[in-house]
Amino acid sequence: MAAGTTHAQLPGGVQIPGSVQIPTSLPSKDQLLVQAKQMLGDLTSLKGNSSLAPEQAKKVDDLLPRANSLTSELSKPQVETSKLAQLSRELSDLQKQVTSLKSLVK
């Protein structure tokens, strides 16, 4: 092995030169769907909350279609693994924004 070269050790003893270790397990489609439905419920609840400032209410209105689309994708019978990883990242991003909005209501 050349000096300064990094190797990632993968299960089964496979090494990929110069790579970064990547988590090999994603949440299941069902787990993501449960989270997406919960987030959609949170957004729906926020939409009806009169204590949100106008810009926060607009943010809720902007997030709802994205959350609906994400939930619809996850509701499909089959989702490709590569698409599942992308949906997981989108869900995480949306959840952060929803959590931020929820913290303003309390």
Distance CA 99, CA 69 (A): 19
Tokens 């729906």 belong to 44
pLDDT at 8 over 70: no
pLDDT at 7: 47
Three-state secondary structure call for residue 42: helix
At residue 18, the pLDDT reads 54
Q: Where are the domains of the chain?
A: 27-105
Main-chain phi, psi angles of 21, to 5 degrees: -65, 130
**Span 15-42, average pLDDT:** 77
The confidence band for 24, taking pLDDT boundaries of 50, 70 and 90, is low
pLDDT in tens, 66-85: 999 999 999 999 988 889 99
Report the distance separating Cα 64 and Cα 53, nearest Å. Answer: 17
* Per-residue pLDDT reduced to its tens digit, 29-69: 999 999 999 999 999 999 988 888 999 999 999 999 999 99
Q: Structure pTM?
A: 0.72
